[in-house]
Amino acid sequence: MRSSRTSPRVRLAALLAGAVTVGALVTAGTTTAHAADTPLRDLAAARGKAMGTAVTGSKLTGTYGDIAGAQFNWLTPGNAMKWESVEPTRGSHNWAEADQIVAFAEAHDQDVRGHTLVWHSQNPGWLANGSWTPAQLSTLMNDHIALEVGRYKGRVAAWDVVNEPFNEDGTYRQTLWYNGLGSGYIAQALTAARAADPAAKLYINDYNVEGVNAKSTALYNLVKSLKEQGVPIDGVGLQAHLILGQVPATLQQNIQRFADLGVDVAITELDIRMNLPADSAKLAQQAADYKAVMNACLAVTRCTGVTVWGFTDSDSWIPSTFPGQGAATPYDDNYAPKPAYRAIVEALGGTSTPPTGACTAVYSVTSQWNTGFTGQVKISCAGAALSGWKAGWTFGAGQKLTSVWNANCTQTGATVSCANASYNGTVPDGGSVTFGFNGSWSGSNPVPSVTLG
């Protein structure tokens, strides 16, 4: 009877522990129950929204795979479905990563956002550098769409059919497609996609169209005119590659005006970048920004949901494209949820477990001889982070520092006060910083306890 009320995990823990009491079983069960917040995908689903992430196929194992599968109900291949990925050589296709991501999504009961069919960037060299007549371009585009959308028919719920068609001033971007086919390439692409999979939702996707501005107004006018002409268009994607503290004030209004045209709106590539290093004030601002984006989407029925462009800072395009910037996603490099993650939870109506992490300092003597010694202090953080640190201790047996590296220390009597050097003030969540020193001793060399401040 007791075993029928005990979870398999608790029973396993009991077996591993050998002889256990009922009290130990109860304790183990309690620990398991409060270990995790409700996943984002469940909170989002309860609000009728998608919560997605861009993913890299090769990383979908271990912790990365666990989080991608458990927390999100939509996946977008970050690069795997782009033309250069699927047809690097003309007529020779490579679907391996795209297939892998679609299979992963199906195994985890997730929807896929196909990204992207017709774009000016990440095209294979043979296509980008070829010289094509309009008729050839038209055939290339139609065939590509028929092949890729057809391959995933019934398995990809929405496609970013056309990506980034506009300049900042709202004029059409001069691309391979626009230059060869005129603005009609957009309607042609949408029509071809509809023919290849009538059930897939078809989107135009762009960046810097989150607020009301010249570019988003051009997109608005395009969608309006496509609707009037009966061209198949189901939604617009607002990429939302945002800068810390700069969520457009008109985001919700802009989402609403597209919804009022009779199309869905998705936030498709959300990230919010900051100048590095991150600190607690920036992370708090970022959390507020994520919450504002979530709230804008939640406020409009036709906003289908939010996809983040990578869920971990270790899988973000920002640091390589904007040197000195980063920390743009909801999880840090070591997969620890950041304040932004908890802000998403709260926006979706969940409650988030406050961070229980801490930073600790450990003093050790690494070598010692008749009159001297070398020591170090290692500051480590887990579930927390430091931006600027101080470490202090009191020597118990007359020891004196003679030299220090990787910190600035002063000693007054027995009291030692150290602070970070200019280059090692940041101790990231899951990371550590070590500084070292030489000292003199006589009689004994006891290890002091270090206070971190």
337-362 exposure pattern, b = at least 16 Cβ within 10 A, e = fewer: bbbbbbbbbbbbebeeeebeeebebe
Please state, in angstroms and rounded to a whole number, the distance separating the CA atoms of residues 201 and 166: 21
Residue window 156-175: x/- pattern of binding to ligand 9MR, with contact defined by CB under 6 A: -------x------------
Which residue, 239 or 420, is less far from ligand 9MR as judged by CB? 239
Residue-wise DSSP of 51-64: EEEEE-GGG-SHHH
Per CB under 6 A, the list member of 111, 234, 269, 313 interacting with ligand 9MR is 269
Q: Is position 58 an interface residue for ligand 9MR (rule: CB under 6 A)?
A: no
Quote the least distance from Cβ 105 to ligand 9MR, whole Å.
Answer: 18
Which residue, 122 or 440, is less far from ligand 9MR as judged by CB? 122
Please state, in angstroms and rounded to a whole number, the distance separating the CA atoms of residues 165 and 178: 8
Per CB under 6 A, the list member of 72, 159, 290, 317 interacting with ligand 9MR is 317
Quote the least distance from Cβ 53 to ligand 9MR, whole Å.
Answer: 11
Among this protein's residues, is 164 annotated catalytic?
A: yes
Q: Which CA distances in Å does 453 have to 257, 338, 386, 406? A: 50, 22, 10, 17
- Residue linked to tokens 């887990």: 382
Strands 358-368 and 400-405, by their bridges, are unpaired
Q: Is position 122 an interface residue for ligand 9MR (rule: CB under 6 A)?
A: yes
Q: Is position 315 an interface residue for ligand 9MR (rule: CB under 6 A)?
A: no
Question: What is the side-by-side order of every strand in the sheet holding 358-368?
Answer: 358-368, 372-382, 432-440, 400-405
Per CB under 6 A, the list member of 78, 124, 235, 248 interacting with ligand 9MR is 78
* H or E segment to which residue 451 belongs: strand 451-452
Residue window 339-378: x/- pattern of binding to ligand 9MR, with contact defined by CB under 6 A: ----------------------------------------
Quote the least distance from Cβ 439 to ligand 9MR, whole Å.
Answer: 49
Catalytic residue among 87, 97, 164, 210: 164
Residue-wise DSSP of 121-158: SS--HHHHT----HHHHHHHHHHHHHHHHHHTTTT-SE
Please state, in angstroms and rounded to a whole number, the distance separating the CA atoms of residues 259 and 252: 10
Considering only CA atoms, give the Rg of the chain. Answer: 27
Which residue, 207 or 373, is less far from ligand 9MR as judged by CB? 207
Which residue, 94 or 360, is less far from ligand 9MR as judged by CB? 94
Quote the least distance from Cβ 262 to ligand 9MR, whole Å.
Answer: 25
Binding residues for ligand 9MR (CB under 6 A): 78-79, 121-122, 163, 207, 239, 269, 317
Tell me the catalytic residues: 164, 269
